[in-house]
Amino acid sequence: MSLASKSVGRRERNKQEKLERITAAAKELFSVHGVDEVTTQQIADKADIGTGTLFLYAKTKGELLLLVQNSSYVDALERGRAAAGKTLDVLDAVMAIVRPVVECNRTQIDNGRTYLREMLFGDPEEPHHRDALALSVETEEAIVGVLRRDESVGEPEAVAQARIISAIMFVSMAATVNIGSSVEDLLQDIRRQAEVLLGPKKKRQADT
């Protein structure tokens, strides 16, 4: 290996190590104090880097929140896919995907709601915002895969239904009226709406 290759490899490792420190620092501070009460200086200090370096990885506090929540969302979606793969009933499988996403978002309610606002209104050119939108698309694709188990459901119908279910989930999590709702309350509400959308045949799919 050339010296140039070793140098590039070392730089990439250093960048990754700093990114992990920033993510861990922001996650802890946001979890304990809430995103509104934490400053970028506090995050930089906890990550043991300068604020200038911090802004190379995320230009705003909103982007830092996206970075933190995205990493949790990835794990939640993976758990949801795995659970759905073991669930025969279509509606139950859809909710198996939805459950860990809702649980992830409601770990700290204010942070979760701010995350959703950043997804909607943040700068789409920022990398962490793009990652958040990509995760939303992946969630819809996972739901499409479940809905397509029913051979009578075509791709366009499944895509439209998955988009509606995703919208139901995000609106339920973001709505001010639901601030005091528990995770189980939200899941029951989402399930009721999904059941109306999908119809009784989806509920019976496991028995056919």
Q: Are 14 and 113 part of one and the same domain? A: no
Q: Output the domain CATH number for residue 180.
A: 1.10.357
How big is the chain by its Cα radius of gyration, in Å? 20
Q: Output the domain CATH number for residue 31.
A: 1.10.10.60
Q: Are 46 and 83 part of one and the same domain? A: no
> According to the model, what pLDDT value does residue 205 have?
52
C-alpha span between 78 and 97 (Å, rounded): 9
C-alpha span between 181 and 183 (Å, rounded): 7
Give 63-75 as a 3 state SS string: HHHHHHHHHHHHH
Q: Are 169 and 184 part of one and the same domain? A: yes
Longest dimension (CA), the chain: 64
Parent domain of 187 = 61-207
Q: Are 65 and 49 part of one and the same domain? A: no
C-alpha span between 166 and 140 (Å, rounded): 6
Q: Are 93 and 183 part of one and the same domain? A: yes
Q: Are 27 and 77 part of one and the same domain? A: no
C-alpha span between 30 and 39 (Å, rounded): 10
Domain-terminating residue out of 39, 57, 75: 57
Domain-terminating residue out of 41, 57, 73: 57
Q: Are 26 and 125 part of one and the same domain? A: no
Long-range contacts of 120-124 (CB under 8 A, 24+ apart): 122/62, 122/63, 122/66
Q: Are 92 and 13 part of one and the same domain? A: no
Render pLDDT for 23-51 as a digit per residue (tens, 0 to 9): 999 999 999 998 989 999 999 999 999 99
Torsion of CA 76, 192, 172, 128, to 10 degrees: 30
Contact 68, 104 (CB under 8 A): no
Q: What single string gives the DSSP state of each residue in 22-77? A: HHHHHHHHHHHH-GGG--HHHHHHHHTS-HHHHHHH-SSHHHHHHHHHHHHHHHHH
Q: Are 4 and 80 part of one and the same domain? A: no
Q: Are 184 and 136 part of one and the same domain? A: yes
Domain-terminating residue out of 57, 81, 104: 57
C-alpha span between 30 and 116 (Å, rounded): 15
Q: Are 20 and 80 part of one and the same domain? A: no
Number of independent structural domains in the chain: 2
C-alpha span between 135 and 140 (Å, rounded): 9
> According to the model, what pLDDT value does residue 206 have?
47
> According to the model, what pLDDT value does residue 204 have?
46
Q: Are 37 and 106 part of one and the same domain? A: no
Digit-by-digit pLDDT tens for the chain (208 residues) are: 554 445 557 888 888 899 999 999 999 999 999 898 999 999 999 999 999 999 999 888 899 999 999 999 999 999 999 999 999 999 999 999 999 999 999 999 999 999 999 998 888 889 999 999 999 999 999 999 999 999 899 999 999 999 999 999 999 999 999 999 999 999 999 999 999 999 875 554 544 4
